[in-house]
Amino acid sequence: MKTSDRGINFIKNFEKLRLEAYPDPVGIWTIGYGHTGGVKPGDKVTEEEAEKLLRHDLQIAENEINRLDLWLTQNRFDALVSFVFNVGTGNFRSSTLRKKLLENPDDPSIFDEFKRWKYGKVNGKSVVLPGLVKRREAEAKLYITGEYGN
CATH number where 12 lies: 1.10.530.40
For residue 54, being part of any structural domain is answered with yes
Asked if residue 10 belongs to a domain, the reply is yes
Question: pLDDT of the chain along its 150 residues, tens only?
Answer: 999 999 999 999 999 899 999 998 888 899 999 999 999 999 999 999 999 999 999 999 999 999 999 999 999 999 999 999 999 999 999 999 999 999 999 999 999 999 999 998 888 888 998 999 999 999 999 999 999 985
pTM: 0.92
Catalytic machinery residues: 15
Which residues are CB-contacts of 53 (< 8 A; sequence separation ≥ 6)?
Answer: 31, 32, 33, 35, 45
- Asked if the structure places residue 23 within a domain, the reply is yes
CA atoms within 13 A on the CB side of 2: 4
- List 127's β-bridge partners, or say none: 120
Pairing of strands 125-128, 29-32: unpaired
Inside any domain, residue 78: yes
- Domain count of the fold of the chain: 1
Does 98 map to a domain? yes
Residue closest to 136 by CA, chosen among 124, 5, 128, 27: 128
- Is residue 150 in some structural domain? no
CA distance 13 to 77: 17
Domain-located, residue 40? yes
Domain that holds residue 43: 5-145
Type of residue numbered 131: G
Phi-psi region of 4 (alpha: psi -120 to 50; beta: other; left: phi over 0): beta
